[in-house]
């Protein structure tokens, strides 16, 4: 596929056919995705390739607490899991929130689930002394995650970056046998999409980019 076509038509895919994603194809996807950058080219990311149904069941289960807060906050009109604002919903309301199937089914039904983990011992975190949530270390892993989804699209597959299970990171680490200093960045179900969306809702360039300053003229 043309690069711009791939970039413009890679949606979050959550519904999959029963088609397999053979190791050979997965290897080709990762063999191209691995050229993503990382801070200082330290390449601290590892990808755990999960096919075992029992491990997927557990990952789906570990999504649930994160999803409950996510859904409860959306219902309360908030930006979910935002670090600047505490949940308006109470603990009891969050606990009682139902988990939509769309948050658990993808890891159960995808051809494969990739768990991206990163060695915190090699990430460069230039924002570590700032009085805000850390952002920069993620930039050493998410380019690879996104490259993987772009490559999957090029091979006729699709998936979604999911992060709900990361709220239960200690349990995910135990499940997958991760060494202490690794962090979980994303759980990515990948498979053959039931339908291929081609029109994604995104802000236009005029809203995305301004000249010289934040309040500058739109590009
Ligand atoms: C950092 C990040 C975390 C995300 N976490 C989840 C998630 O936990 N579960 C999920 O279903 N989708 C998750 N998504 C997918 C987004 O909801 C999706 O990319 C966005 O809504 C755009 O969807 P579209 O490409 O189909 O338009 C996440 C995406 C990103 C970039």
Is the CB of 164 within 6 Å of ligand 1? yes
Rounded Cα distance between 219 and 216, Å, is: 9
Q: Are 77 and 88 in contact (CB under 8 A)?
A: yes
Question: How large is the average pLDDT for residues 19-42?
Answer: 98
pTM above 0.95, yes or no: yes
pLDDT of residue 101: 96
Residue 28, in any domain of the structure = yes
pLDDT at 135: 97
Question: Counting atoms of ligand 1 from 1, which one is nearest the CA of 10?
Answer: 25
Percent of the chain with pLDDT over 70: 100
Assess if residue 202 is contained within a domain: no
Query: Does residue 199 sit within a domain?
Result: no
Any idea what the CATH number is for the domain that residue 161 is in? 3.40.109.10
Q: Give the span between the Cα atoms of 93 and 99, in whole angstroms.
A: 13
Q: Is the pLDDT of residue 182 over 90?
A: yes
Quick check: 54 pLDDT over 90? yes
167 lines ligand 1 (CB under 6 A): no
pLDDT in tens, 83-115: 999 999 999 999 999 999 999 999 999 999 999
Q: Is position 198 within any domain?
A: no
73 assigned to some structural domain = yes
Whole-number Å distance, alpha carbon 163 to ligand 1 midpoint, is 8
Residue of 132, 110, 134 whose CA lies nearest to 123: 134
Residue 210 within any structural domain of the chain = no
Q: What is the mean pLDDT of residues 34-48?
A: 98
Q: Residue 136 sits in which domain range?
A: 3-193
Q: Helix crossing, 23-33 with 142-154: angle to 10°? A: 130
Torsional class of 151: left (φ above 0), alpha (ψ -120 to 50), beta (otherwise): alpha
Predicted pLDDT of residue 22 = 98
Asked whether residue 149 carries a pLDDT value surpassing 90, the answer given is yes
154 touches ligand 1 (CB under 6 Å): no
- Which residue's CA lies nearest to atom 30 of ligand 1? 161
At 100 the pLDDT is 97
What mean pLDDT do residues 72-93 have? Answer: 95
Do 102 and 14 touch, CB atoms closer than 8 A?
yes
Domain count, the chain: 1
Q: Is 74 in the pocket of ligand 1 (CB under 6 A)?
A: no
Is residue 215 situated within a structural domain?
Answer: no
pLDDT of residue 77: 95
Judged against a pLDDT cut of 90, whether residue 196 lies above it is answered with: no
- Torsion sign (Cα): 116, 121, 123, 129: positive
């Amino acid at each position: 596929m043309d690069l711009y076509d791939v970039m413009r038509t890679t949606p979050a895919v959550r519904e999959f056919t029963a088609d397999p994603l053979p190791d050979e194809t997965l290897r080709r996807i990762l063999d191209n995705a691995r050229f993503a950058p990382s801070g200082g080219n330290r390449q601290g990311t590892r990808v755990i390739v999960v096919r075992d149904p029992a491990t997927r069941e557990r990952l789906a289960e570990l999504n649930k607490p994160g999803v409950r807060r996510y859904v409860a906050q959306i219902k309360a009109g908030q930006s979910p899991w935002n670090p600047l604002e505490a949940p308006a919903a109470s603990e009891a309301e969050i606990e009682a929130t139902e988990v939509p199937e769309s948050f658990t089914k993808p890891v159960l039904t995808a051809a494969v689930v990739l768990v991206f983990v990163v060695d915190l011992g090699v990430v460069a975190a230039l924002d570590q002394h700032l009085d805000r949530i850390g952002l920069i270390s993620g930039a050493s892993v998410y380019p690879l995650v996104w490259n993987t989804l772009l490559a999957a699209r090029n091979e006729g597959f699709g998936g979604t970056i999911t992060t709900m299970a990361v709220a239960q990171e200690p349990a995910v680490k135990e499940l997958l046998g991760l060494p202490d200093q690794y962090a979980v960045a994303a759980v990515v179900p990948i498979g053959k999409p039931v339908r291929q969306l081609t029109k994604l809702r995104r802000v236009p360039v005029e809203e995305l980019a301004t000249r010289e300053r934040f309040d500058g003229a739109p590009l």
